[in-house]
């Protein structure tokens, strides 16, 4: 028996329980740099229980759909942002927390130019590009001790359009 998750277009409202959606929709909050730049100010909240913020670069293999989802994870000590370094949509999988394990996952596709920031402790699928080069800046917690909890589904899901 396969359980299918249909990919939804991402919106700030739908994603809000799981994280922040960053994009340049609408007017910028500030015009800076002698009028040459619009600043969309403070659009995601970094949240670390300990440690510090760090920026890493991920070069991930693009995935093809339909995708088999057998794992979600979460980071109890810090938020995690995925900032694509290309104008490509990518897949974002999240799941509600039901106490000690995730509930039914949801899958979103971003628009080109959008980034996301998972709230601290949000169950999520790992970084999942849909197009090469799969190059991302990732802002997350750098610190001592474990910051990863994994949940393997007994029955994998199929994520598709
Ligand atoms: N493990 C790691 O650095 N990345 C994962 O947390 C991920 O969500 O891709
Ligand atoms: Ni992660």
Summarize pLDDT for 22-32 with one digit per residue, the tens: 999 999 999 99
Residue ranges per domain, the chain? 3-160
Q: Where are the beta strands (DSSP E) in the chain?
A: 3-9, 19-22, 30-32, 37-39, 52-59, 67-74, 80-84, 90-95, 106-109, 115-118, 123-124, 128-129, 135-142, 149-160
Are 76 and 147 a contacting pair, CB within 8 Å? Answer: yes
Please tell me the predicted confidence (pLDDT) of residue 35.
98
Q: How confident is the model at residue 58 (pLDDT cuts 50, 70, 90)?
A: very high
Please tell me the predicted confidence (pLDDT) of residue 100.
85
Q: In terms of DSSP bridges, do strands 3-9 and 106-109 run parallel, antiparallel, or are they unpaired?
A: parallel
Q: What is the mean pLDDT of residues 2-7?
A: 94
Superfamily of structural domain 3-160: Ureidoglycolate hydrolase (2.60.120.480)
Report field, pTM of the whole predicted structure over 0.90 = yes
Name the closest ligand to CA 120. 2
**Which residue has the least CA distance to atom 6 on ligand 1?**
126
Give residue-wise pLDDT tens across range 79-129. Answer: 999 999 999 999 999 999 998 899 999 999 999 999 999 999 999 999 999
Among 62, 91, 93, 126, residue to substitute to test ligand 1 (most atoms within 8 Å of Cβ): 126
Task: Give the pocket of ligand 1 (CB within 6 Å).
Answer: 73, 80, 124, 126-127
Residue 113 CA to ligand 2 center (angstroms) comes to 20
**Residue list, CB under 5 A from ion ligand 2:** 80
The widest CA-to-CA distance across the chain, in whole angstroms, is 59
Interface predicted TM-score (ipTM): 0.93
């Amino acid at each position: 028996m396969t359980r299918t998750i249909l990919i939804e277009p991402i919106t700030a409202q739908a994603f809000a329980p799981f994280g922040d959606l960053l994009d340049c929709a609408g007017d910028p909050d500030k015009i800076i740099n002698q009028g040459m730049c619009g600043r969309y100010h403070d659009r995601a909240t970094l949240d670390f229980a300990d440690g510090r913020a760090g920026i890493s670069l991920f070069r991930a293999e693009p995935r093809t759909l339909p995708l088999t989802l057998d794992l979600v994870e979460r980071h109890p000590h810090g938020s995690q942002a995925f900032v694509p370094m290309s104008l490509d949509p990518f897949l974002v999988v999240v799941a509600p927390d039901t106490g000690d394990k995730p509930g039914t996952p949801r899958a979103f596709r971003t628009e080109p130019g959008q980034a996301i920031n998972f709230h601290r402790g949000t169950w999520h699928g790992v970084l999942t590009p849909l197009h090469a080069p799969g190059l991302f800046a990732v802002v997350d917690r750098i610190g001592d001790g474990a910051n990863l909890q994994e949940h393997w589904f007994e029955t994998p899901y199929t994520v598709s359009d």
